[in-house]
Amino acid sequence: MLHSCESSAWPPMVSSLRYSLSRLYDNNDTSTDAQLDLSTLLLDDATSDNVHLLATSFENDIELLKSNYTKVLETVERLILMDRFDDASRFTYKPIIKHIASIDLAPLIQMMIRLCSFLANTTERRDQLCSNILYHNTYALLSVKVNKKLSSLFFDLILAMLEMYTMDTPGYAAKLLTKSEFYPWAELTYHIGHLIRICGSYDSFVHTDYFSKLDPLQDILKLISDRAKINPIIYRATHEPVLKYILRWSVKNTVYSMHVYKMGGQILDLIDKQQATFDTCSQFIDALRHRVSGDDDNDDPEQARLRNAQFFQPLSARLAKFMEQFKTLPSALHQKLALFFMAILNRPLYAENGIRKFEYWTMNNIWHYVSLCIANQEDVRLYKTCLDRLYTRAQDDNDQDLKCWWISFWQTVGMKFPQVAADHVEQFLCITIDEKDMSFLVLLPVSDLKR
């Protein structure tokens, strides 16, 4: 028995139907006809085939799309709210994205912002929105030339996408922010402060890998940092939230996923040096001291190394910059620093393979600024125990780096305060005579006379 599908008459019939149906909606004479057709897509018995055919019709007729643009967007939005994401995606991808250079972008962006806000609290629906709508629209918006008058609306979209808190949206937001010569950065100061807060709140996400979809968050912060260098007014808005997150991410016995420490390394550059205080330095010293307290000893050494390299070593470098900026420090800070250095010198500075550890790099970053920030003899004496420990380790371990740290300190401080240097003449002589190091030839006569 011959089935109908095996008949030679069947293929021409299928071909004819495909052609005629593909142009089913092409004969709309008026805008009213098109709007009636759009309304049918929202009915319960509407099929995906109908959506596809009508979307194709609008794709093939740009004037039809323009005259019914508002209704098209309304239909797409309602399809999404009805959880018909595939249908909405077909309609978005075909006519809208194809003709995106010819349509008014403002209503499209406003629709995207509304949808982000409305679906933000429903995990499955917001993931569908990302994969079906936001992904395609983001790349389409990147490819088209946009009037700068829409820049604030674009920034609102970036904030709305980030506030959905998905693994995908940071990537979309970072892409939109790269639009060159588009955003009026100085005018967006308030919004940038809000952006920093949103990025920081992604610290609640947990993952175990070094790389993740959340890495674009650090790209966002890096871009804002670069723009702030040209528009310093931005620092006024970033300082408070940045300081908040730096201190939060450096709390003792608290470990975050790696994307957080990557953000931390970038966020340090958004501190306003005009608002930095001695209290800021004190908080940074406390944060760093937590890292040398031995809390990481039972952790994966590689994970601890990566955390420190991404965030805590740059934090020590930032502290050094503040010390250089302030030029002198109060005695309370010198006392804290002396205790901090003692904690470091009681720890291994090198891994078993000889690689310098976090403790080494942190002290190296800060130490050279200490001697420049000392204003009186009393502050020098606060470092006596620390200096003796540094000298002993340099001798016992034959560590030339530690020896250079010790020598550089006294070369600077000894000439300013020879009365204190006189207490260390025996050490200077040992370096000069036993090790034939001439570093103290100038200092020795002065120190000896004072003694």
Q: Is a pLDDT exceeding 70 seen at residue 15?
A: no
Strand pairing partners for 350?
356
Q: Is a pLDDT exceeding 60 seen at residue 447?
A: no
Asked if residue 439 is part of any domain, the answer here is: no
* Token couple for 317: 């470098």
Tell me the per-residue pLDDT of 263-283, one tens digit each, with 9 for 90 and over.
999 999 999 999 999 999 999
Rg (CA), the chain: 33
| CA-to-CA separations, 144 to 60, 160, 379, in angstroms, rounded | 20, 21, 62
Asked if residue 380 is part of any domain, the answer here is: yes
Judge whether 196 and 228 are in contact, CB under 8 Å: no
229 and 168 part of one domain: no
Residue % of the chain over a pLDDT of 70: 87
Structure confidence at residue 436 as a pLDDT band (50, 70, 90): low
159 and 213 part of one domain: no
Give the chain's domain count: 3
Residue % of the chain over a pLDDT of 90: 70
Structure confidence at residue 423 as a pLDDT band (50, 70, 90): confident
Give the separation between CA 284 and CA 288, rounded to whole angstroms: 6
Tell me the per-residue pLDDT of 179-206, one tens digit each, with 9 for 90 and over.
999 999 999 999 999 999 999 999 999 9
Tell me the per-residue pLDDT of 371-392, one tens digit each, with 9 for 90 and over.
999 999 999 999 999 999 999 9
Q: For residue 393, what are the domain limits?
A: 338-422
pTM: 0.88
At residue 417, the pLDDT reads 87
Average pLDDT, the chain: 88
At residue 40, the pLDDT reads 82
Asked if residue 103 is part of any domain, the answer here is: yes
Q: Is a pLDDT exceeding 60 seen at residue 79?
A: yes
Q: Could you write out the DSSP letters of every residue in 390-416?
A: HHHHHHHTT-HHHHHHHHHHHHHHHHH
Query: For the residues 74-84, what does the mean pLDDT come to?
Result: 93
At residue 19, the pLDDT reads 46
Asked if residue 274 is part of any domain, the answer here is: yes
* Domain final residue pick, 271, 297, 323: 297
57 and 151 part of one domain: yes
177 and 259 part of one domain: no
Asked if residue 125 is part of any domain, the answer here is: yes
